[in-house]
Amino acid sequence: MEFRDLKQQYQLHKTEIDNAIQNVLTKVNFIQGKQVSLLEEVLAQYVGVKHCITCANGTDALQLALMAWKIGAGDAVFVPDFTFFSSGEVVPLVGATPVFVDIDKDTYNISPKSLEIAIEYVLKNTNLNPKVIIAVDLFGQPADFDKIMQIAEKYNLFILEDAAQGFGGKIGKKKACSFGDIATTSFFPAKPLGCYGDGGAVFTNNDAWADLIRSYRVHGKGMDKYDNVRIGMNSRLDTIQAAVLLEKIKFFNEEIEKCNQIAEEYTRFLKDIVKTPIVRDGMYSSWAQYTICFHNSKEREQAMKFFKENSIPTAVYYRKPMHMQQAFKGYKFTKLEYGDTQMVCDSCMSIPMHAYLEFSDVEKIIKAVVRSKQ
Ligand SMILES: *Cc1c(COP(=O)(O)O)cnc(C)c1O
């Protein structure tokens, strides 16, 4: 049993994917081949936004967005305390200050209430200018954008939606990557829409920001890449990855559908045994992870040991709150509280979740959770 089964996915779609890669090899158009611009059109249409700009990875995508907004020294950027390191890492990279915000333990996403407390705190107690909220669609469920948008409006902040794990999710009919003023995703292999290496993309409806990001991703190009009008990056998606993604997007919705069936099954049988993820009304998750919480860390470690003995893979996303990471030790706001994040870091465990999981495996996993507690 695999935690995320990329082998089966490849075997099932081998012919189309091999042909797509072979086609790039024959044409040797490895950088900015026509598949890259075609993929950008397909993804923009899929999400329902005007511009998709692909880039080298999901971390660069976040950085490119902050660069387009000229975020830098003296600016405060609000980031959930429970997320992958990248969501916070990009903030000091552009010279700004990350302010970590507690999550809602039911959804694992940024808590709008804690967000407003953090913004007020920064306004009253620091010289920083609040500029951006990075709202992460963690584990696949879109963040609480209704409330986040109200807060953004009240304090005049940009919303950067980090949908590295949320691609394929929805609120009502509106897709993830359409909620932020700018949104980003990652095509790292294990993400909901993964390629065969590193890759990422930026989404926006704003023409000026899209133009800037297209320039920044190729060394701040002007008329062409040898006319450099600003300091940029080298952050392109290569043609082979675009070709793979053009094949994988064709069966992507079906995969997410299957993940939702598995999640329903997990929740049905586990909700009275452990804390299961709560998907809010109107929300549709892409189920990048299915993450449960035990009573405490001892119970979690016991379960992990039991799963290991039974050859069922598990993972802990994430053991450490962002504000506790050594790399962020210069950005501590000791008056802000992180109770839900700490509780989740101490007690959470993710169980296998992918579209190729057999229902017999799902049953085995459910039984293992139950037995691990006995
Ligand atoms: C994976 C991930 C990223 C970074 O994506 P890469 O392509 O690995 O750079 C950013 N944010 C979140 C929430 C992620 O899970």
pLDDT tens-digit map of 131-156: 999 999 999 999 999 999 999 999 99
Query: Residue-wise over 189-227: b if at least 16 C-beta within 10 A, else e?
Result: eebbbbbbebbbbbbbeeeebbebbbbbbbbbbeeeeee
Cα distances (Å, whole numbers) of residue 90 to 29, 58, 97, 105: 31, 11, 10, 24
As a whole number, mean pLDDT of residues 32-42 equals 97
Regarding the beta carbon of 184 and ligand 1, being less than 6 Å apart is answered: no
Regarding the beta carbon of 164 and ligand 1, being less than 6 Å apart is answered: yes
Summarize pLDDT for 338-369 with one digit per residue, the tens: 999 999 999 999 999 999 999 999 999 999 99
- Pocket residue to mutate for ligand 1, from 81, 136, 191, most atoms within 8 A of Cβ: 191
pLDDT category at 41 given cuts 50, 70, 90 is very high
- Pocket residue to mutate for ligand 1, from 165, 287, 318, most atoms within 8 A of Cβ: 165
Of 99, 104, 169, 111, nearest to 141 by C-alpha is 169
pLDDT category at 199 given cuts 50, 70, 90 is very high
**Atom 10 of ligand 1, nearest CA residue:** 86
Cα distances (Å, whole numbers) of residue 351 to 264, 288, 317, 342: 14, 11, 10, 20
What percent of the chain is modeled with pLDDT above 70?
Answer: 100
Regarding the beta carbon of 139 and ligand 1, being less than 6 Å apart is answered: no
Mean pLDDT rounded to a whole number for the chain: 97
Residue with tokens 């209430």: 113
Regarding the beta carbon of 350 and ligand 1, being less than 6 Å apart is answered: no
As a whole number, mean pLDDT of residues 42-48 equals 98
- Centre of ligand 1 from the C-alpha of residue 184, in Å: 9
As a whole number, mean pLDDT of residues 22-49 equals 97
Summarize pLDDT for 281-304 with one digit per residue, the tens: 999 999 999 999 999 999 999 999
Residue 68 pLDDT greater than 90, yes or no: yes
What percent of the chain is modeled with pLDDT above 90?
Answer: 99
- Pocket residue to mutate for ligand 1, from 160, 167, 185, 188, most atoms within 8 A of Cβ: 188
Regarding the beta carbon of 137 and ligand 1, being less than 6 Å apart is answered: no
**Atom in ligand 1 nearest the alpha carbon of residue 198:** 7
pLDDT category at 374 given cuts 50, 70, 90 is confident
Residue 162, pLDDT score: 98
Residue 225, pLDDT score: 84
As a whole number, mean pLDDT of residues 74-95 equals 98
Residue 373 pLDDT greater than 90, yes or no: no
**Atom in ligand 1 nearest the alpha carbon of residue 187:** 7
